[in-house]
Structures are given as structure tokens and as C-alpha cells.
Structure 1
Amino acid sequence: MNKGYIKIALALLSVTGYMQNIAFASETAVATNSSNVEVNQISADTEGVKQQLSAPPKKAKQQLNLRSKQQKCSDPEEAKQAADVMAEALNVAKKHAEHTDDYEVHYAGNGAILHFKPLKYASMGKLVFTIPNADSYADIVKMLWNQNAEKKLNDAFIRGTISRMYNKNLAIIQQRYQGPIWTTYYNALANKVELSEDETAIVLVSSNMNDHNLSKGLNYINPIVKSANSFKPDVNSESDIRIGLLHKAYINLMAIFIKKEANGVKITQLTSIEHAYLPYSPDPKQTLRDMTATIMLNTTKIGDIIKKE
């Protein structure tokens, strides 16, 4: 990869469970623990969609799979605002990582423990496990700071794209996933921070960015990182997003702390997702929690992948 390209951490972000739950739902409902409201039906340019779907295969492929070009930010105010948002996100993540009194155990096994706690308009998951090889620290950081590393964790992942680069450790990224029915994506700020010689943090946060998606009805509000709600840059997007064909998710906060210790590398992952849609369920909050748990537990595969490499 050219030096001008930033490698974004997404091995930690196995959003497969969420995407597959969404895709398999024959009917959908608005997430009940969300601070946001979205209409059930995606609003799109019907004629435009028909033209895209009826185009010859080669032309359709060009129209729907045209990649957004990486944009280097030339606006110092926007770059500063992005950095400020991620500084707040890191501080919030540290607090949720350090304090465990209000968490409840959701899963414990295979050397990993997963907790959840309710927040106002959201929930937070915390996963902790150790990879028993302290010498693998640098390799783990390198793997996680790669926009396409998630290909090693699930088959639904399509690709990661850099929409805007502020510096080598801060960018806006887009991730795509292919389910049996829908293609799903999200935009997020991504930041890598070296906390010390032996610890690195990787953080992702969504805001109400304008990617020109014709799907109306959702004014996303981040319930965890407040400064993200004033960060609304215009970002380039592909034609299938612009005509409203893709389902959009949001990352309230995702963070992974990678720490080298005497007996291995300790991984602490925090995850809160704006699922927006979920299958009808007798207990929607539990369904959302289970979906997030599936996402988070995929992260434990990193240890086996590092061993093979």
C-alpha cells in the first residue's frame, strides 16, 4: 500500500452479526433503544433505481461499484474539529473501559469475558481477553490498523474505503458488508493513538455526515460522543449510496485498547452501535444486545489469525 494511504483498523469491527440479522429480517422495526427515528421504507429515486438495475451487467458494475477517491482534507478547521471529536471519544472510551461496576456479564468462556451496561438511548459492550504472546503486540496493532483486515474475520465484508484523510492516524472511512438481501455500510471517523510504548488505542465514531444518500427520515444523533453531533462534513459516495440502495448503520463508539503485558497482549474492546433496524422480537433490547455480542466476540479470532501468520 502506498505511503499516502492510511491503514484503518477494522478487524475489531466485525459487524457481520448485525448485517446478517438485518438482512434476514423479512420485516423490520425501528430500534427501540435508539435516540433516533427512522421511517421503515427507504426513500429513493425509483426511476434511478430501475435504470441501475436494468443496466447491462458491465455498465451496472461500473455504476454501482465505482469507488470513491480518497480525499485529502484541505480544510484546517474541519481537520481540527475531527481531532477534537476523537479526543472526546478517546476520553469517553477510557472511562467506560476503566469502570466496570455497572456492567453485567453477558458471556464468559474461552478466556474472554463480555459485559454490557445500559446507557441513555444506547448500550455499551465491553470485551476483555488476552492473546498469550507478548511479542505479537506490533503485529496485532498492524493487523487492526488495516481497512481490509476484516476480510479475515467474515465473508460478508466487502471492502473498506478511505473517504477523507486528515493525517496518517486520522481519517473518515466507509465499510461495506454484503448480506443475503441488502448491502449495508457505515461512515465513521477512525483514529489511532499511541498511548505509551506498550499501549495503542484505536477508536471509531459516526456522526451525521452528508454522503448524499437519498434515504431520508433519519437525523442521526450520537448519544455517547456529544461533539460528534456538530461534525457534519460532506463526503463523497458511490452511486448506489446516492440513490438509496444501501442500508446505513452508525457507530456510536467503538474502541479497542491493545496493551502489551508480561504474559501476553491484553485486548479491551468497547462497542456501541446504532442498529437503526432490527427484526421484530418479543424483547427488542435483548435482540440488539445479542446482535452486538456476536459482533464483539468475532474479535477473539484475532489470536488464531496472528498464530497462523
Structure 2
Amino acid sequence: MAGDCGDFISQFATINTDAPWLFHLADLHRSFADAAAQASDDERLTLAGALYEWLNAYFAKNAITLYGHAVSGCSVNHNAKQRLTFTHQNDLPHGVAYEKFIGEHQQIPTRNNLHDWFGACIWAKFPKSKAVLNAKHITHLHDDDSGNKRNRVRDTITVFDENGAVVVVADDDVGKAIADGLRRFDWQTCLVQHRAQWADFSTPNPKAQAFIFGHALLEQLVHPRKSLCSHTLIISMPQEFFAAPLPVQLAMLDDALAAQLQQLLQDGVTPRELHPLPILGVPYFWDNADPQFYADTSVFRAGRRQDKQDKSV
């Protein structure tokens, strides 16, 4: 256990908290980094070994900021207001499905590794959306109408939960052009021609902004590489969204994303309804100012199909 805890502390130290794709999670990362920096070597091992306890304490202290109300947890399903906390992975009984355990016990089993750390970060920032995914998993838990014995709804949930991103676009002509370019794999239009309209710290009146949702994708981005590709949902928002403070943006986005997931995750859905986006092609996420960055067709591939029905809002 001590070795695992030391590994987690070492792995956590490799996270670049200033990475632009972590902007919506930076407060959590810096808070844990500060706690680790102030601890002795033995205390750091204890901190990592009881990561779930640190998360619960942090969420309780910052409940209003995280959730918009004074409840130190988030809902287990889209409508309930039950308190959701973290617990040690060992509390998950052998043979019990992870999603079912969360739904029945209002606890998230958590290991001391980067994968579960990033998962906890997403629970913090998108509690309603994560709750929808959990509820949909449980609804379709025993459907096994696909080759992997899981079913296409749960396949789609898993792909988005692990590797998803959300692109928010303004509800105007520029936002529509960016969204349409993404859907058509027209990288020149959505990422090059409209580069200046993507959100950066200095962008006035941006028209598009990307938020990473998938915790496995976040883990992979600890060691970024150009080929990493997200599976993306597109959400249209009024221009006021882009001028709002980050906590307000996240609350608005969580509401909109939860509603879209409720609509999307029905019988017949497949992961192909998620739009591929090479995540380091997002303007300002990487050293991608040179248009030649997007000429790499092994990463920025041509479109493979037109969706029979685009369910993006």
C-alpha cells in the first residue's frame, strides 16, 4: 500500500496544473498539490492512501462553489438530491457492478491513482451529467445486445465518460460554422479559419470553448501527444455564457449537458454519434498556431460519414 501511495504522489507531481486543457479543474489540482507540499513524507503517504477522505473533506468545505448549493455532495440520479461521497475501493464488494454500487449506496469507490483522481474531478465539476450517466448505466445494466455483452447505450456512455469532451459554441452564425465544421471533419474551418474565435485568456467575445470530460483522456494528457482524439458533444449557448465566471459556466454547462445526455442515451444510440476531435488541435491547447499543424492527415482525418440524425443541441 505504501508503494502504491508513493506512486500516486509521484504521478500526481507530473501533472502540469497550468496545462490549458485543465483550466476547469485547476482549483482541485492546486488544492491537493498544496496539501501534499505542506505534509511530511509519511503524511503524504497517508494523504494518498486515504484520497477518498481528502476528496470528501474538500467537497464539504467547498460545497457551495462546487455544486451551487450548500450540499456537500451531488445527486445520484438526475432528480434526487441525495448526498454522494467517495469511499475506498475495497468497499466495493467483489462481483458488484461499480455503477450499481454508486446508485445503491451513494458512494464512489476510489483508488489512489490518477485515473480515479481525474474521475473525482469530473464528478466535482459535472455532478448532474455524471449522475445521468450513472442512472443510464443502471437502467441498461442487464441489456447485453452487443458483442461485448454490455449494449450500445452503455458503450456510448463508456466512450464519453472515459474519452469525452464538450465543445460549447455560441448560438450565432460563427458558432454554427464552427460546430458544422467539427461535424464534417472540416478542420480548416472550425480550427484554423475560426481560430481567433476560440476561448483563450485574452480572447474578446469568444464563440467556442472546449471542456474535457473524459477522465481517461485527462490521464493520457499528463503525457500529451498529438494523436490523442476525444469523442465530443456540441452544445450551443448564448454569448453570455462565455463572459460568465468559470463556476457559473460550469453550472450552466452541467445543466445543458445533463439534458443532452438524457436525450441522447436512448435505445439505438451508438458511439458514432460522438464527434471525433483531436484534442490538441483545439486552438490554444497546444503549440498549434501554425496552420501546418493541421496538415497531418494521420491525425486530422477526412470525414468518414454523415450522421443520419445529429442530436447535438
Q: TM-score range by the shorter chain?
A: under 0.3
Higher strand share: 1
Higher helix share: 2
Structure ranking higher on relative contact order (CA contacts 8 Å, 6+ apart):
1
